[in-house]
């Protein structure tokens, strides 16, 4: 809108200014033309004629204060002047713009050549002099300034009104979208929640059947195992979905009714490390951790464990045998930094930005493994956000990947997590 009204205003200004100057040039030409019949009289009687004459043809169109008329002989010598403007410049035929250096005032002039054919003269008439009509541009300048003031002021008011109108309209237009978006989130939360009960029933039935193998036909044992595996996976996916859906609906509210409390990040990381060590050993990998300092943060132990074990599991899963995975913890100003680095299959540049998308998994052929849903990193990101932190990732295909988690450190005197956040969390 600013561009459109800017262009419109400039267009109006240019056209209006041009029309004004055209009008003044035309007026000056008419004035000079109407003064030509008096040329001979001015030449012969000079100022005497000019002081006396009242009934001259140009009298009605002449503005004494703003205009002047000058008569020159054929050599440019001034014969007479009517009006207050005195230009010390020789006449130049046609329209002209003259600026007076002392005052900086600008004048527009129109000069006509005067030809007279003497009685009995044959051939073309001879040049006898010039008549110059002059007008100050001050009046036009004032009109120009007024116009630009109106245009700028009008443009500003238009912009403010358009902005307010646009804002109001956008709010109105977005309302149903927001409502349906919220409905969708609510639906996901409700659906995940509702699906949990039948799934629990299936799981319980399978458990009963597995506890009584004699009742199961040997041919069905494998099928039962498959159903049990699928149920477990579905249960995990549902829990993940429920977690994300609830976080979407109210990001400040913890899913479980637990309070955030000071926790030792070293302890959480150590537990995750120990838990996953067997998997690393199985793949003959170098799995190492380095905690440079003791760091406490305000958080939820189980959620933070989930965050870091997701990252470590990924690192171990997407790194081939005999690779290397390292876990580091250090402090940077008032932020705890946890890095999980691997020498695995890595990600292509265009894939890096998608890793946190829900259900996104890289090229299945490269990273196929049993059980993954593509929700792990989305959950890790949601957890990091709810702890006032964030996760970033750098990766190179076939070289390795590095996830870095930054979470504000708990300050014993003043919590680094804002008061509002803490209150929201404790309230739940
Ligand atoms: N360290 C890593 N190296 C290479 N690719 C990775 C790494 N971590 C994640 N990815 C890619 O990002 C995808 C998404 O990871 P995410 O953890 O969200 O899901 P997942 O591991 O496939 O399943 P799950 O929900 O069980 O964790 C993975 O499928 C994988 O393609
Ligand atoms: Mg994962």
Query: What are 258-300's pLDDT values in tens digits?
Result: 567 899 999 999 999 999 999 999 999 999 999 999 999 999 9
Confidence band for 371, pLDDT divided at 50, 70 and 90: low
Q: What number does the ligand 1 atom closest to the CA of 400 have?
A: 3
Query: pLDDT tens-digit profile of 247-256?
Result: 887 766 544 4
Instruction: Give the residue whose CA is nearest to atom 4 of ligand 1.
Output: 346
Instruction: Measure 318 CA to ligand 2 centroid, in angstroms.
Output: 9
CB contact set of 58 (below 8 Å; sequence gap of 6+): 31, 34, 35, 38, 69
What pLDDT does 368 receive?
56
Instruction: Give the residue whose CA is nearest to atom 17 of ligand 1.
Output: 376
For the chain, which residues make up each domain, given as ranges? 2-136, 147-249, 261-427
Pick from 243, 318, 373, 378 the residue to mutate for probing ligand 1's pocket: most ligand atoms within 8 Å of its CB.
Answer: 318
Cα 276–356–247 angle (5° rounding)?
Answer: 90
Ligand 1 neighbours, Cβ below 6 Å, are 310, 314-315, 318, 342, 344-347, 355, 360-362, 367, 371-378, 401
227 touches 363 (CB < 8 A): no
Q: What number does the ligand 1 atom closest to the CA of 361 have?
A: 29
- For tokens 């956008």, what's the residue? 170
Instruction: Measure 310 CA to ligand 1 centroid, in angstroms.
Output: 9
Instruction: Measure 252 CA to ligand 2 centroid, in angstroms.
Output: 24
What pLDDT does 259 receive?
65
Instruction: Measure 367 CA to ligand 2 centroid, in angstroms.
Output: 10
CA nearest neighbour of 356 among 314, 303, 407, 318 = 314
Instruction: Measure 57 CA to ligand 1 centroid, in angstroms.
Output: 96
What pLDDT does 100 receive?
82
Q: Per CATH, is 2-136 categorized as 3.30.420?
A: no
Tell which CATH architecture fits domain 261-427.
2-Layer Sandwich (3.30)
- Give the β-pairing of 126-136 and 286-291: unpaired
Per the confidence metrics, is the pTM higher than 0.75?
A: no
d(CA 93, CA 111) in angstroms, rounded, equals 5
CA nearest neighbour of 138 among 167, 100, 166, 195 = 100
Q: Would you put residue 129 in left (φ > 0), alpha (ψ -120 to 50) or beta?
A: left
Say whether pLDDT at 413 is over 60: no
Tokens matching residue 88: 């010390």
Number of C-beta neighbours around residue 114 at 10 A: 21
What pLDDT does 39 receive?
86
Pick from 310, 377, 384, 392 the residue to mutate for probing ligand 1's pocket: most ligand atoms within 8 Å of its CB.
Answer: 377
Say whether pLDDT at 88 is over 90: no
Cα torsion at 322, 324, 327, 328 (round to 10°)? 150
Task: Give percent of the chain with pLDDT exceeding 90.
Answer: 49
Query: pLDDT tens-digit profile of 54-67?
Result: 666 667 677 777 88
Question: Class of the 147-249 domain?
Answer: mainly alpha
Instruction: Measure 313 CA to ligand 2 centroid, in angstroms.
Output: 6
What mean pLDDT do residues 15-30 have? 91
Say whether pLDDT at 417 is over 60: no
Instruction: Measure 378 CA to ligand 2 centroid, in angstroms.
Output: 9
CA nearest neighbour of 325 among 306, 310, 339, 305 = 339
Query: pLDDT tens-digit profile of 192-203?
Result: 889 989 999 999
Instruction: Give the residue whose CA is nearest to atom 8 of ligand 1.
Output: 314
What Å distances lie between residue 29 and 23, 36, 80, 104, 338, CA to CA? 10, 11, 18, 24, 84
Tokens matching residue 183: 């409905």
What mean pLDDT do residues 18-32 have? 90
**Secondary structure of residue 347 in the 3-state scheme:** coil
Cα torsion at 206, 208, 213, 218 (round to 10°)? -30
Pick from 355, 397, 402 the residue to mutate for probing ligand 1's pocket: most ligand atoms within 8 Å of its CB.
Answer: 355
What mean pLDDT do residues 384-399 have? 93
**Secondary structure of residue 245 in the 3-state scheme:** helix
d(CA 230, CA 223) in angstroms, rounded, equals 10
């Amino acid at each position: 809108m600013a561009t459109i009204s800017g262009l419109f205003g400039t267009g109006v200004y240019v056209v209006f200014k041009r029309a004004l100057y055209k009008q003044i040039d035309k007026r000056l030409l008419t004035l000079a033309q109407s003064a030509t019949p008096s040329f001979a009289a001015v030449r012969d009687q000079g100022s005497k004629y000019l002081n006396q004459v009242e009934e001259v043809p140009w009298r009605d169109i002449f503005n004494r204060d703003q205009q002047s008329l000058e008569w020159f002989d054929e050599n440019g010598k001034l014969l007479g002047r009517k009006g207050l403007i005195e230009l010390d410049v020789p006449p130049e035929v046609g329209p002209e713009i003259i600026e007076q250096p002392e005052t900086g005032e600008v004048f527009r002039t129109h000069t006509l050549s005067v030809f007279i054919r003497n009685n009995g003269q044959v051939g073309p008439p001879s040049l006898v002099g010039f008549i110059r009509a002059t007008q100050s541009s001050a009046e036009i300048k004032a009109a120009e300034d007024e116009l630009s003031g109106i245009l700028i002021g009008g443009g500003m008011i238009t912009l403010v009104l358009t902005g307010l109108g646009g804002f109001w309209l956008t709010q109105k237009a977005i309302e149903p979208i927001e409502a349906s978006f919220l409905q969708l989130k609510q639906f996901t939360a409700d659906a995940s929640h509702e699906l949990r009960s039948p799934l629990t029933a299936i799981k319980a039935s399978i458990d009963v059947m597995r506890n009584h193998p004699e009742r199961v036909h040997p041919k069905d044992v494998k099928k039962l195992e498959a159903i049990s595996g699928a149920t477990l996976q579905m249960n995990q996916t549902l829990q993940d979905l429920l977690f994300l859906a609830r976080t979407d609906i109210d990001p400040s509210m913890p899913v479980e009714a637990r309070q955030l409390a000071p926790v030792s990040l070293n302890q959480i990381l150590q537990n995750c490390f120990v838990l996953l060590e067997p998997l690393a050993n199985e793949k003959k990998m170098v799995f190492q951790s380095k905690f440079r300092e003791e760091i406490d943060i305000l958080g939820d132990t189980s959620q933070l464990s989930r965050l870091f074990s997701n990252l470590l599991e990924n690192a171990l899963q997407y790194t081939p045998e005999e690779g290397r995975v390292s876990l580091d913890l250090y402090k940077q100003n008032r932020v705890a930094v946890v890095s999980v680095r691997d020498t695995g299959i890595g990600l292509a540049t265009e894939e890096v930005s998608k890793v946190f998308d829900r259900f996104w998994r890289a090229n299945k052929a490269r990273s196929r493994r049993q059980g993954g849903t593509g929700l792990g990193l989305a959950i890790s990101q949601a957890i990091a956000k709810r702890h006032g932190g964030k996760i970033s990732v750098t990766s190179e295909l076939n070289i390795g990947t590095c996830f870095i988690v930054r979470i504000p450190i708990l300050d014993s005197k003043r919590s680094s997590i804002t008061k509002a956040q803490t209150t929201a969390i404790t309230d739940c």
